[in-house]
Amino acid sequence: MSNLTITAFKWVPDFAQGYVRDLRPRWACEELSLAYEERLIDVDPRPESHFAEQPWGQVPVLDDNGIKLFESGAILLHLAEKDERLMPRDAQGRASTLSWLFAAFNSIEPMVFELNEIDIFSKDEEWAKLRRTGLLDFFGQRLDRLVDALGDKPYLTGTFSVADIAMATTLRDTGDTDLIPGRPALAAYVERCLARPGFRKAHADQLAAFARNAPEPVS
Amino acid sequence: MSNLTITAFKWVPDFAQGYVRDLRPRWACEELSLAYEERLIDVDPRPESHFAEQPWGQVPVLDDNGIKLFESGAILLHLAEKDERLMPRDAQGRASTLSWLFAAFNSIEPMVFELNEIDIFSKDEEWAKLRRTGLLDFFGQRLDRLVDALGDKPYLTGTFSVADIAMATTLRDTGDTDLIPGRPALAAYVERCLARPGFRKAHADQLAAFARNAPEPVS
């Protein structure tokens, strides 16, 4: 019996498959060879009881032997604290990992949210068309700085850590833009992260759950 | 001699004074009665060497006895780990604090960034005028859920924690909108947080540094 349970959605529309954020704790669990149970809930409508566990009705939620967490960043950190393979135990190694973990969630992902709003949810809106170039410019400048910071290191802090799970899942969510392909060092970094067996297994497991629970086609 | 040094800006324009994010670690230090040194750098141009410490050239940076961190979220967490007054030591208390800490940085602050872009940096742009109502609606719905989650607790996890430093500094940065005043429970929460002596001292100290370093008026 596993003591870890990850709450995820039963099924989501195609554009979101492989990108829902339970992918992150799934990946962390794979890196540490931690078994977990899936607890799958409806996406629409969301069960009202779920809002007591996750204020915005989102996933993932983690139950670790009765201890509950929400927000994928908090869950990643909680899992990383179990094992130095996801977070070094020396003081500077830990400090750098925390810094890059928050950088992914607060300095990079907010622009991904805005980009997805423009390119997916509001793509036919006039404001989205007018805003797009400015956002891509600003985001691109920040990514140029990320390239500088990464330098020739294979991972953000030198060795693979939970910060790379956060950053790689964030960077890959930039759709058909040239943001990552246009920066070869960053493209190589993302590819290096996503080539890890832990990512591949986590991604396959998320997709498998959606396949099992796909709605009947309307004919 | 203090072993903590917080890097902040020498001076910033009026609209940003009292809102620069070194406010957060200053506040955490006050809550724990930790002395710190200020290290003040130019905002424009940013010293090029600063980008080696903070990838985007921002503040704050923390130096804790030689251990360096960037991103205000990482710095808050690092400081909170020193003392249970900012993060409970029991497993669920810690888990809830981490969850709300990341909620502030990843589920609330991204909308504050977008709002400030619309109301300050791009306020004369057509896209900003067209986008504003939709953003306020979406942000407002999320804040309604935050009201539900807060319930009648004085602080996010029951007792004051580092998550409240993150959330209160985020919520107060919503300009002249009705987002907080229109939700009395949230307005009371923010007021309760900001009434703490630690916030008042941190805020005054940030403003004092700007006053000392104000540019000469051009006459």
**A130/B127 touch (CB, cutoff 8 Å), yes or no:** yes
**A127/B131 touch (CB, cutoff 8 Å), yes or no:** yes
Query: Domains in chain B, ordered, with CATH?
Result: 4-85+198-212 (3.40.30.10), 91-196 (1.20.1050.10)
A70 DSSP 8-state letter:
E
The beta strands (E) that lie in A10-58 are given as 37-41
pLDDT exceeds 50 at position B1: no
Cβ-in-10-Å burial (0-12, 13-18, 19+) of A104 comes to buried
Residue A214: both structure tokens together: 């796909």
Chain A residues near residue B78 by CB distance under 8 angstroms: 95, 98
Torsion of CA B88, B89, B91, B95, to 10 degrees: 40
Mean pLDDT of B161-170: 98
**A69/B98 touch (CB, cutoff 8 Å), yes or no:** yes
Q: From CA A156, how far away is CA A154, in angstroms rounded?
A: 7
**SS3 assignment, position A101:** helix
Mean pLDDT of B162-191: 98
**A98/B142 touch (CB, cutoff 8 Å), yes or no:** no
Give the residues across from B39 on adjacent strands: B7
| Count of other CB atoms within 10 angstroms of residue B52 | 10
**B134/A146 touch (CB, cutoff 8 Å), yes or no:** no
B19 inside 8 A of chain A by CB: no
CA angle A61, A66, A70 (to 5 degrees): 20
Residue type, B149: A
pLDDT exceeds 90 at position B48: yes
For residue A46, what pLDDT is reported? 94
**A110/B107 touch (CB, cutoff 8 Å), yes or no:** no
**Sheet with A67-70, side-by-side order of all strands:** A37-41, A4-9, A61-64, A67-70
Residues of chain B above pLDDT 70, percent: 98
CA angle A106, A109, A113 (to 5 degrees): 125
Q: What is the ipTM for the molecules in this complex?
A: 0.97
Q: From CA B17, how far away is CA B14, in angstroms rounded?
A: 5
To the nearest whole Å, the CA of A216 is away from the closest chain B CA by: 31
Q: From CA B176, how far away is CA A179, in angstroms rounded?
A: 34
Question: Of A84, A63, A88, A90, whose CA–CA distance to A8 is shortest?
Answer: A63
Q: Which of B98, B127, B149 sits opposite A74 (nearest CB)?
A: B98
What pLDDT digit, counting tens, does each position of B14-25 carry?
Answer: 999 999 999 999
Confidence bin at B216 (pLDDT 50/70/90): confident
B134 inside 8 A of chain A by CB: yes
Give the residues across from A70 on adjacent strands: A61
Task: Give the 3-state DSSP-derived string for chain B, with helices as H, strands as E and coil as C.
Answer: CCCEEEEEECCCCHHHCCCCCCHHHHHHHHHCCCCCEEEEECCCCCCHHHHHCCCCCCCCEEEECCEEEECHHHHHHHHHCCCCCCCCCCHHHHHHHHHHHHHHHHHHHHHHHHHHHHHHHCCCCHHHHHHHHHHHHHHHHHHHHHHHHHCCCCCCECECCHHHHHHHHHHCCCCCCCCCCCCHHHHHHHHHHHCCHHHHHHHHHHHHHHHHCCCCCCC
Per-residue pLDDT of chain A (219 residues; tens, 9 = 90+): 459 999 999 999 999 999 999 999 999 999 999 999 999 999 999 999 999 999 999 999 999 999 999 999 999 999 999 999 999 999 999 999 999 999 999 999 999 999 999 999 999 999 999 999 999 999 999 999 999 999 999 999 999 999 999 999 999 999 999 999 999 999 999 999 999 999 999 999 999 999 999 988 776
Mean pLDDT of B59-73: 98
**A56/B95 touch (CB, cutoff 8 Å), yes or no:** no
H or E segment at A62? strand A61-64
Q: Chain A: residue nearest B147 by CA?
A: A55
To the nearest whole Å, the CA of A160 is away from the closest chain B CA by: 18
List, in order, residues 6 or more apart from B67 with CB less than 8 Å away.
A91, A92, A95
List, in order, residues 6 or more apart from A80 with CB less than 8 Å away.
A28, A86, A87, A97, A161, A162
What pLDDT digit, counting tens, does each position of B95-145 carry?
Answer: 999 999 999 999 999 999 999 999 999 999 999 999 999 999 999 999 999
B91 inside 8 A of chain A by CB: yes
For residue A1, what pLDDT is reported? 47
For residue B2, what pLDDT is reported? 59
Straight-line distance from the first to the last Cα atom of chain A, in angstroms, rounded to the nearest whole number: 41
Query: Are B25 and B6 spatial neighbours (Cβ–Cβ below 8 Å)?
Result: yes
**SS3 assignment, position A37:** strand
Q: Chain A: residue nearest B142 by CA?
A: A56
Query: Are B131 and B118 spatial neighbours (Cβ–Cβ below 8 Å)?
Result: yes
Tell me which of A99, A111, A169, A189 to substitute to probe the interface with B (most B C-beta atoms closer than 10 Å): A99
A153 inside 8 A of chain B by CB: no
For residue A216, what pLDDT is reported? 83
Q: Which of A55, A69, A113 sits opposite B146 (nearest CB)?
A: A55
Separation in Å, CA A110 to CA A135, A137, A214, B192 = 11, 15, 30, 28
Chain A residues near residue B123 by CB distance under 8 angstroms: none
A101 inside 8 A of chain B by CB: yes
Chain B residues near residue A125 by CB distance under 8 angstroms: 130, 134
**B55/A122 touch (CB, cutoff 8 Å), yes or no:** no
Q: Chain B: residue nearest A121 by CA?
A: B134
For residue A219, what pLDDT is reported? 66
A133 inside 8 A of chain B by CB: no
B209 inside 8 A of chain A by CB: no
Q: What is the pTM of this model?
A: 0.97
